[in-house]
Each structure stands twice: as C-alpha cells, then as structure tokens.
Amino acid sequence: MNDFRQDFIRFAIAKKAVSFGQFKTRAGRLSPYFFNSGLFNDGDSLNRLAQFYAKAILTSGIAFDMLFGPAYKGIPLVSAVAIALAQSGRNAPFAFNRKEAKDHGEGGDIIGAALSGRVLIIDDVISAGTAVRESFNLIRAVGAIACGVVVSLDRMERGTGALSAIQEVQQSYNIPVISVATLDDLMNYLKTDPAHATHLEAVGRYREQYGVTARV
C-alpha cells in the first residue's frame, strides 16, 4: 500500500470520516463501517484531503486539461484540489455547476473556466453514478471530453449486479475512476493498527459477502 493511501486512511479515521459499527446502506445492507466525507469540514482537513487527491491524480499519470466538480460536494473539493495541484506544480483551470441555470448576470449553469479539452471529474464517492452521468452529459454537451473521475474511497461493493458502482461507471463511459483509497486499503490498514484491528474481521466478512472480485 502506497504511503499516502495508508496516511489517508489514518487521517479519515482520526476525523471520524471512517467510523465503525453497524450502518444500513442505501441497498439495505448492514455495513460494519461508514464513510462520510462531510466530516472533512474545516480548513485544515479540507486542505489535507485535497493534498491526498492531488497525490492520487499525479500518481495515476492520467492526462487532463482541467477539473470539474459536480454540485454540491464537488464544489469545495474541486476548488481545493485545484489549489493542491497548483502547489505541486500542476496548475489547471477548474469549473463546477449550479443545480439550476442562472438566467441573469453571467447566466448559465457552469461557474469557472469554460469546459474544454480533457475534463477530470472530482467528487467524493460514487454511489449510484448519478452525479457522474450528469457531469458527463454537461461536459459532452459543450464538445469537451470527460477523461476520468477521482473519488475519495472505493467501497469495492457490488450494486444490484456483479459490478460495483465504480465499475459500472468505468464500463458505461469507458473512463478510468481513480480513488485515493479502496476498501482493500482500509483492510490492510486495520491489520497494522492495534486500536482498530478488532474491526478487521467484520469488515473482511462484509467484503467477502458483498465485494467485487476485482477492479475493471
């Protein structure tokens, strides 16, 4: 496991963005862990989160021309990630959307740089793929190309079929999905952290029952 992924899991647990217990998922499953990116809710934690995103993007080697953050959670994320990338020497324009188009002032539903070239979508997680689908349509409508998606955590969990939501996005749109960390990274971390090692068995059982076999 790359150091930054281990550091991200440690950071997420410390911020209680990753918590353990019994949580009901949207699919009605009882999960032994829960991820809530909304708890990265102060300046320092948002800055650190963005640095992890920047490392994941740069490590992936993905080619992109600009960043896009879907409303609402993607708005602060894409802004912070653009700053983190600039601090790492990769200055890129960014944009985000409104939920409803504005009919006065500058008008339209896109704020920031004009969508063009290869657009990398920045979001927190992919649950049903709705935000990605809307982003893909917005980007394609202006003649730009969605080149990939970046998220915090890949739960590596099956949806209604054999694939996870992330795998469905990758297959439907033929674009890569980059995650800062995965469920397997979380399990690897639990093996090394005595304070949380007791959760490994329950998370492992959940992974075995509902997890996908591999990334696509």
102 in active site? yes
H/E run at residue 67: strand 66-69
- State how far the Cα of 155 lies from the Cα of 212, in Å rounded to an integer: 9
> What is the CB neighbour count within 10 angstroms for residue 186?
28
Report the SS3 class of residue 93: coil
Q: How many CB atoms lie within 10 A of CB 170?
A: 19
Query: Using CA atoms, how far apart are residues 67 and 119, in angstroms rounded to an integer?
Result: 6
Which of 99, 104, 191, 196 is flagged as catalytic? 104
Does 196 participate in catalysis according to the annotation? no
Question: Which is catalytic among the residues 102, 191, 196, 199?
Answer: 102
Q: Report d(CA 10, CA 98) in Å as an integer.
A: 33
The tokens for 205 are: 């059982």
- 145-154: strand order across its sheet: 108-112, 94-102, 66-69, 118-122, 145-154, 177-182
Q: 112: Cβ–Cβ under 8 A, 6 or more apart, which residues?
A: 93, 94, 95, 96
What are the helix (H) ranges across the chain?
Answer: 3-14, 43-60, 74-87, 130-141, 165-173, 183-192, 200-210
Residues with a catalytic annotation lie at 102, 104
